[in-house]
Amino acid sequence: RKEVEQDPGPFNVPEGATVAFNCTYSNSASQSFFWYRQDCRKEPKLLMSVYSSGNEDGRFTAQLNRASQYISLLIRDSKLSDSATYLCVVNRPRGSQGNLIFGKGTKLSVKP
């Protein structure tokens, strides 16, 4: 099983749609989870951290299921500006720094 696995997409959705991405991770000892957004040919930017109880930031909702070792991101009322690649990020709990492992990303394309 890969350390972090995502559906590569692309997800092509109309404006206003609700879209959900899932991500699975292999190390049950991982403690930190994030969603990053990466625009074409740009650096990744933190979208949101993922907390055990789930968390929401405007149109974005992140959930963590430790038992099944997966993370999800829900985007409601999609905007054209949401078009990007969404990276699932999980810490690798080794040593004292818990290096981050990045998924390959799920590409979202929101169409008018």
Partner 1 sequence: DGGITQSPKYLFRKEGQNVTLSCEQNLNHDAMYWYRQDPGQGLRLIYYSQIVNDFQKGDIAEGYSVSREKKESFPLTVTSAQKNPTAFYLCASKAVESGNTIYFGEGSWLTVV
Residues forming contacts to partner 1 in the complex (CB under 8 A) are 4, 8, 32, 34, 41-46, 49, 87, 91, 95-105
Q: How far is the CB of 71 from partner 1 (least distance, A)?
A: 14
User: What does the block give as tokens for 33?
Assistant: 């989870």
Nearer to partner 1 among residue 6 and residue 78 (C-beta): 6
Least Cβ distance, residue 34 to partner 1 (angstroms): 7
Taking the least distance from each CB to partner 1, the nearer of 97 and 112 is 97
Using CA atoms in the order 28, 29, 32, 37, what is the torsion angle rounded to 10 degrees?
A: -40
What is the Cα–Cα distance from 36 to 42, expressed in whole angstroms?
12
CA distance 106 to 44: 13
- Smallest gap from Cβ 44 to partner 1, in A, equals 6
Count of CB atoms situated within 10 Å of the CB of 62: 21
Which CB, 45 or 111, lies closer to partner 1?
45
